[in-house]
Amino acid sequence: MSQNVTVAISSDFFSAFAKLPQTQQGKVSKFITNFQQDPMSSAINYEKIHDFKDPNMRSVRIDQAYRGIVLKPESGNVFMLLWVAHHDDAYDWARRHRCNINAGNGAIQVYEAEEGTVVEQPESAAVLDVAAIFVELKDRELLRLGVPDELITLVRGVHNELELDAIEHRLPVEAYEGLFMYMAGTGYDQIVNDRELVKEAEIDTSDFAAALERLATQSRFVVVDDDIELHAMLNAPLDKWRVFLHPSQRKLVSGIKNGASRVLGGAGTGKTVVAMHRAKWLAEHVLEGNQKILFTTFTKNLATDIETNLSSICSKDVLEKIEVINLDRWVTQYLRKNKYEYTILYNTDDKKYWKQALDLAVSEVDVPDAFYQEEWRKVIQPQSVESLDQYKRASRVGRGTRLSRSERVKVWPVFEEYRNLLTQSKKKEVDDAYRDVAALLEKDTQTFPYQSLIVDEGQDMSTQAFKLMRQLVPEGANDIFVVGDGHQRIYGRNKVVLSQCGINIRGRARKLKVNYRTTEEIRSWAVNLLEGCAIDDLDGGVDDNKGYKSLTHGDAPKIEQFDTAEKQSDFIASYLKQRAADDFPLSHICITTRTSKERDNIASALKAADIEVAMVDAYQESSNKNAVRLATMHRVKGLEFDEMILASINEGIVPLSFAIEGKGDEVEKRLADIEERGLMYVALTRAKKRVLVLSYGEQSHYVKGG
């Protein structure tokens, strides 16, 4: 590259590049490589078009039919690739857009600059005699929220959300997001603080080099000096999470943290992306010698997905410093090395041990059999209760069934017998195994290389899991980084209080609010499932979805009801054949069900209809682009597809009857219902563009709105 010359590429450029025919993509890639080496080369023909809104925009020739749009400022040595398309489309785009530095936040912004400042009412919007929403904000405050100076008058004419959505295409992403947050009730100061914008005395709106250094710009522009890195970006231009992070995300990713951190966020807000980039940053900037990052999550499936994605953003040397493994597997491996004599009950049926232990239940304490297993899981295991004296003192806050001190004495023999039966059979539950690992670690002279620990899907981890993780990494700077969302707790885990596990997040708790995956219509439908449900924040507080928003729009979920399972399968087969006829890759569609039985029945019906099927399992992802994906709702956690088909959403299956009715009291039934709702919430929010909700027989009351 020529001396002191910087070439930046916009996020929009990658989106435009992804839409080009493959042959043209090759030509554009070659052009970018040459352009990066010397943007001032005489071989590059800059053409200034008189009716471009931005006087600094130029077109550059890719070939006879295609043009790129470049910003070539009057001063400075920064060049920016903004757009690429067919000749006419590229010129049309350039005529409508400007690229300027916002005087309020210093970000480089690309936005539509059409003439006129009147907000047109959408056809569906009623004419409301109400005041404009943003009238109380000063011009400098609107600028700081990301509104370009020339669009301030337009924004001041907005009265409601429909009008804001109507001008969304005109606004930079950060401006629309900030305005929506303000409209939803988030204070101006809070929005600015969440973005952690550095306040500058004066911003030079002609200094593009300085603007590229700001976090607000880096969420939309990237400077790539490495040809290998550029090639990787162009090979996956739509995977923008690899390159572009929201300012609030980038602030979480980088920098020294004085202790443990926790990041919450609804589905699609990029929590796992933040966790991966945090691991990358720590591996590149903090580790010394043989130190490592331990990156753990709840299931083997998610660990495999994370390791694959990390390999796309990390060099080989950096990747070697990050150990990705689900916690159960780490525990199993450690215990095996220590010649552990017990078998760990992960998913093994333990009903026979409870059946024997319940023979000791006394009639004087009137509780159902289910009470004992719930008490064990909710009270005894989380609090490491091993004796009657400990049980007498144990907290039972949140349990629906009250027990007097004498009643605790009478029920204790059942728990004691259950543990004895497991011990005699050389078996241990997971939480017991975690405690055994903790005890072994205290005596272990081995020094682990873990400098930091990253936890994904923290809501599914148990109290004992967090206590073990606390022991693995000593308390200090950058020690533990947890991401999670209580709305997506789907594995029956207790609510965890991090501070009670020795993990202090005070002052280092953040929340992500923008959904980058799902359309607003799908997000809203999914969130309504959990309306009124009390969701915890992993540290003793309450979490909610206030301010949670998607920035893209589409169709609301489509609901279809059938008389029989066969008619449902026929509909799915017909739908898939039509999508295939439209040249839509069936691999971008996933059919999910609550049970494996329903999944398998649909798979058989589709195969009989000559439709290729690929099961999403724990070990391997099919590369067959012609095969529709099938999975249970638990298995789609952490994945995403263009389209989701939620099938067999019948009463009795969603929610699963025995998952709720088998509980011991009304409190436990309510918690089980929240978990079932969370499972459907997870399934819905895997979709990026479209959702079908299908049922046969009696439709689930979740769909009816109950």
Which pLDDT does position 667 carry in this prediction? 84
- From residue 562, give the alpha-carbon distance in Å to each of 570, 693, 702, 703: 10, 11, 16, 14
- Alpha-carbon 108 to chain mean position: 26
Which pLDDT does position 171 carry in this prediction? 93
Q: Could you tell me the residue ranges of all domains in the chain?
A: 6-102+210-234, 108-202, 245-335+443-543, 351-425, 557-704
Please tell me the total number of residues recorded for the chain in this structure.
706
Amino acid at 476: G
- Residue 681 burial class via C-beta count within 10 angstroms: exposed 0-12, middle 13-18, buried 19 and up: buried
Fold equal for 6-102+210-234 and 557-704: no
CA distance 681 to 684: 5
Q: What are phi and psi of 541, to 5 degrees?
A: -105, -170
| CATH number of this structure's domain 6-102+210-234, picked from the four choices 3.10.310.10, 3.40.1550.10, 3.30.2310.20, 3.40.50.620 | 3.30.2310.20
- 581-596: b or e for each residue (b if 16 or more CB lie within 10 Å)? eeeeebbbbbbbbbee
Architecture category of domain 557-704 in CATH: 3-Layer(aba) Sandwich (3.40)
Nearest of 377, 369, 376 to residue 412 by alpha carbon: 376
The CB-side HSE value for 461 (13 A sphere, CA atoms) comes to: 29
Biggest CA–CA distance in the chain, Å, is 94
Which pLDDT does position 574 carry in this prediction? 98
Which pLDDT does position 1 carry in this prediction? 47
Helices 11-18 and 227-235 sit at what angle, rounded to 10 degrees? 50
DSSP-based three-state secondary structure for 185: coil
Which pLDDT does position 346 carry in this prediction? 80
> Strand 450-455 relative to strand 292-296: parallel, antiparallel, unpaired?
parallel
DSSP, residue by residue, 20-54: S-HHHHHHHHHHHHHHHH-TT-TTS--B--TT-SS
| CATH number of this structure's domain 245-335+443-543, picked from the four choices 3.40.50.300, 3.20.140.10, 3.40.50.410, 3.40.190.10 | 3.40.50.300
Q: What are phi and psi of 339, to 5 degrees?
A: 55, 50
Nearest of 93, 175, 74 to residue 82 by alpha carbon: 93
- 266-290: b or e for each residue (b if 16 or more CB lie within 10 Å)? bbbbbbbbbbbbbbbbbbeeebeee
For the chain, the 3-state helix, strand and coil shares in percent, each to the nearest 5, are: 45, 15, 40
Q: What spatial distance separates the first Cα and last Cα of the chain, rounded to whole Å?
A: 62
Place of tokens 């150990």: 323
Q: Write out pLDDT tens, residues 557-584.
A: 999 999 999 999 999 999 999 999 999 9
Which pLDDT does position 128 carry in this prediction? 46
614 secondary structure, DSSP code: E
Nearest of 656, 654, 651, 706 to residue 684 by alpha carbon: 654
- Residue 671 burial class via C-beta count within 10 angstroms: exposed 0-12, middle 13-18, buried 19 and up: buried
What's the alpha-carbon Rg for the chain, to the nearest Å?
28
Mean pLDDT, all residues of the chain: 90
Sign of CA pseudo-dihedral 494, 497, 498, 502: negative
- Residue 13 burial class via C-beta count within 10 angstroms: exposed 0-12, middle 13-18, buried 19 and up: buried
242 secondary structure, DSSP code: G
Q: What are phi and psi of 521, to 5 degrees?
A: -65, -40
Which pLDDT does position 237 carry in this prediction? 72
CA distance 648 to 207: 58
Q: Residue 590: which residues within 8 A CB-CB, separation 6 or more?
A: 616, 628, 629, 630, 631, 636, 639, 641, 643, 644, 645, 686
Q: What are phi and psi of 381, to 5 degrees?
A: -70, -45
Low-confidence ranges of the chain (pLDDT < 50): 1, 116-117, 124-129
- From residue 450, give the alpha-carbon distance in Å to each of 282, 289, 321, 458, 474: 12, 11, 10, 19, 9
Q: Write out pLDDT tens, residues 81-137.
A: 999 999 999 999 999 999 999 999 999 999 998 654 455 555 544 444 457 889 999
